[in-house]
Copies of this chain bind each other. A is one copy, B any other.
Amino acid sequence: MNSKKKIKKGKNIPAKAKRVFRGVIFDVWQWKQKMFDGSVEIFEKLRRPDTVNVIPVIGNKIMILKQRQPDWKKEKTSLAGGRIDEGEKPLAAAKRELLEETGYASKNWTLWKEQNPSEKMVWTIYTYIARSCYFKQPPHLDAGEKIKTKLISFDGFIMFSENPDFYEGEIKSSILRARFDKKFRDELYNLFFKK
């Protein structure tokens, strides 16, 4: 706690806020907030490490993951991805996670989305498209991962928009729109496969 300047708060936590809990994933910050009538209340926000998601494109297919974690009751469908390490750049984290989880690499990356899903939490999700992926080396999973990969078509991929077992809630709106809005579908298809 001595090196207070080094603790990243994120832009949605006021400078005067104090970290009142430091967890494995989540930190809790509190501050005294002046209310509209002049009274004061304790306000609270969370901070967690930013994460990356990767949509790996291989030929005319998209690779998705069927994954289990030790505390999950059943398998979920997800993108490749994970937490950004301290000091790591988002794109470097995306490349690392793709290689660790699938064994694939790419030289053609685009940042598709940068989202802050929660008003009460400092947390950014970076979603990348990794085009023309090629197999580089066997995956290297950690002890908390069981992962199988599967190649699906673009039209199969956008059907995940309404699948409750698809883990990536933040991209569901976009792929849902691609199902019903032809112009948007074609633009997204081009973004994934042609850029």
- Show the binding face of A for B, using Cβ within 8 Å: 14, 20-21, 23-26, 28, 30, 33-37, 39, 41-44, 46, 70-71, 117-120, 143-146, 161-162, 167, 169, 172-173, 176-177, 180-181
Q: Which residues of B contact A169 (CB under 8 A)?
A: 117
Total copies of this chain within the assembly:
2
Q: Which residues of B contact A14 (CB under 8 A)?
A: 71
**Min CB gap A39→B, angstroms:** 5
Asked whether B30 lies within 8 Å of A43 as measured between CB atoms, the reply is no
**Min CB gap A160→B, angstroms:** 12
The 3 A-B pairs with the shortest beta carbon distances in the complex, nearest first, are A180-B180, A35-B143, A21-B21
